[in-house]
């Protein structure tokens, strides 16, 4: 699963072993997707003088700014764990939730509690909008704005806060480098083409580091909470577990109709 602007092959290689040479900087080394590595990455950015901003409070990013975004594709539980680490470090970020996901529902009590906790830590709540659930081809701007507004309104009611920002799930080309008057697009020029963009999509940091050269002065950083765990889990294993859980939930629901 990837929210990269362009398609990429899934990283399936094994993480590097300790015997292999690695740079000392977490920003320039490959990762095993253990959550401790993510914390180390944040600490290094803070030590380098970077500040973290939410999209709702940043119209034009300034020098030494990281716009930290999380697309919650797979796990609200992992999002809550990541949010807690960030809060401990004084980092504030933007968490984008799907309203059309078959893997979690924002109306479930446990999920609502996690949503409330993430917000109480000072993080921004945003919509992760899946155009593919609505259209196979590009809609009119009026159709797109209406559908996005409906999801923003729903999430606002669920979270008891105004939802301004929207990230697009597996974004089609027609949402990239485009601004909308009705909402903040995380792929609009000030956050995308006018600054650097770095993503951990599909666990690609297993084979390539976040940065191969100088760390940009200002950039957007996209990190998917569902890919990070206390110990390494491959993306194939993560997706297999999610598929199994989804099947079990459907079976339990259907079994309820059997006398």
15 is a domain residue: no
Q: Are 193 and 218 in contact (CB under 8 A)?
A: no
178 exposed, middle or buried (CB, 10 Å; 0-12, 13-18, 19+)?
middle
Q: What sign results for the dihedral spanned by CA atoms 168, 66, 215, 11?
A: negative
Q: Choose among 48, 27, 31, 23: nearest CA to 233.
A: 31
Q: Could you tell me the pTM of the whole model? A: 0.90
Predicted local confidence at residue 58, as pLDDT: 82
User: The domain containing residue 147 runs over which residues?
Assistant: 37-255
Q: Residue 186: CB partners within 8 Å, gap ≥ 6?
A: 55, 67, 69, 94, 96, 126, 165, 166, 167, 168, 192, 220
228 is a domain residue: yes
Q: What is the CATH number of the domain that holds 240?
A: 3.20.20
> pLDDT tens digits for 121-143?
999 999 999 999 999 999 999 99
Q: Which of residues 74 and 20 earns the better pLDDT score?
A: 74
Q: Are 89 and 123 in contact (CB under 8 A)?
A: no
14 is a domain residue: no
Predicted local confidence at residue 60, as pLDDT: 85
11 is a domain residue: no
The total number of structural domains in the chain stands at 1
């Amino acid at each position: 699963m990837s929210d990269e602007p362009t398609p990429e092959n899934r990283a399936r290689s094994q993480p590097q072993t300790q015997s292999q040479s690695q740079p000392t900087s977490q920003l320039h080394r490959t990762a095993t997707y253990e959550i401790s590595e993510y914390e180390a990455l944040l600490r290094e950015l803070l030590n380098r003088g970077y500040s973290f901003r939410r999209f709702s409070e940043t119209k034009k990013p300034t020098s030494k700014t990281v716009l930290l975004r999380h697309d919650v594709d797979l796990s609200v539980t992992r999002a809550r764990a990541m949010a807690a680490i960030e809060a401990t470090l004084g980092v504030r970020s933007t968490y984008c939730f799907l309203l059309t996901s078959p893997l979690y529902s924002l109306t479930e009590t446990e999920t609502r509690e996690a949503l409330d906790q993430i917000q109480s830590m000072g993080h921004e709540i945003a919509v992760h909008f899946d155009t593919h659930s609505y259209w196979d081809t590009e809609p009119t701007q009026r159709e797109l704005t209406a559908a996005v507004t409906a999801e923003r309104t729903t999430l606002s009611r669920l979270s008891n806060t105004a939802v301004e920002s929207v990230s697009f799930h597996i974004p089609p080309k027609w949402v990239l480098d485009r601004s909308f008057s009705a909402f903040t697009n995380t792929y609009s020029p000030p956050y995308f083409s006018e600054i650097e963009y770095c993503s951990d999509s599909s666990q690609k940091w297993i084979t390539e580091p976040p940065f191969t050269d100088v760390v940009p002065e200002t950039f957007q950083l996209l990190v998917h909470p569902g890919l990070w765990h206390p110990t390494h889990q491959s993306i194939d294993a993560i997706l297999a577990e999610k598929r199994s859980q989804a099947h079990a939930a459907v079976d339990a629901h259907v079994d309820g109709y059997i006398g």
